[in-house]
Structure 1
Amino acid sequence: MKLLLPILALCLLTSCYTAERNCSDFKTGTFEFSYTIDGTERTSRFKRTEDLNIDYHEGVEDSSSVRWINDCEFILKKLHPTSNTEKEAIHMKILSTSEDSYTFEYKRAIKRANRPSRVEKGTARRVN
């Protein structure tokens, strides 16, 4: 019983914590993020407007439409897909923000039948 009250108080205090999310600050701008493929770290840059996302990846420019669900979530859909996989829309969600970066997660917007949903995370940094 003596231990129950401190545990309850700790649970109440930690459950009130929410990550800072000033998502509207990151709706537009130029950003970059780093990722690793086969042990090699690479950096990609993208520019986002209210309704367009332009990726600059290894010298190739690729455009996607942006449809905002709310201030922190949007759907990306390639404008010129070259494969069936690229035809699938991506659901992006901003999880937390800081002064010049945001942490996000993304997954397919439509779940494939009989396949687990794969969620990836990353951090984008404002460069302009």
Structure 2
Amino acid sequence: MRVFLICLSVLLFTNCYEKARDCKDFKTGVFYSEVTIDDVLYKSTFKRSKTLQIEIYNNKVDSSSLRWINDCEVIFKTINPKSMADHKDIHLKILTTTDSSYTYEYSYVGETKKQKGIAYKSK
């Protein structure tokens, strides 16, 4: 009986710390994003429909087509690539969500090095 109570307690406490992932709210909308790479903070704004994302970074506009793998994962393909890096597709996975933001990780498709960032839904 004692072992049962200990196991039950452990299960109850671990369920309380499950991270939320309600990704459907972030498939479309207007957002701004923050990513820190080598101690440098990069910010961008973007507008996303179900199949297209238009991003503004350093006063430059970049458009990507979207292919959703599931509600929390998407592949970005640059529409008009200007460099070899732009030819590579990007895989983004939403890790956690709140009511107005999500934490994500992304990488070039097929690469193991991942970066993390936060996107905030604009009102």
Once residues 35 and 42 of structure 1 are traced to their aligned partners in structure 2, the CA distance between those partners, rounded to angstroms, is: 5
Once residues 41 and 74 of structure 2 are traced to their aligned partners in structure 1, the CA distance between those partners, rounded to angstroms, is: 26
Structure 1: gaps (5+ residues): 112-116
* Paired residues of 2:36 and 2:117 also in contact (CA < 8 A): no
1:119 to 107, 114, 119: 114
What is the TM-score of this pair, normalised by structure 1? 0.80
SS of 2:56 mapped into structure 1: strand
Runs in 1 of length 4+ with deviation above 6 angstroms?
none
What is the TM-score of this pair, normalised by structure 2? 0.83
The answer for the alignment partner of 1:110 in structure 2 is 110
Structure 2: gaps (5+ residues): none
* CA-based RMSD: 2.4
Structure 1 residue 86, shift from structure 2 partner = 1.1
- Structure 1 residues 36 and 94: alpha-carbon distance in aligned structure 2, compared to 1, 3 A threshold: closer
Which letter maps to 2:105? E
Structure 1 residue 18, shift from structure 2 partner = 2.5
Matched residue pairs, number?
121
Name which of structure 1's ranges 99-108 and 28-37 shifts more when overlaid on structure 2: 28-37
* Paired residues of 2:35 and 2:118 also in contact (CA < 8 A): no
Structure 1 residue 41, shift from structure 2 partner = 3.1
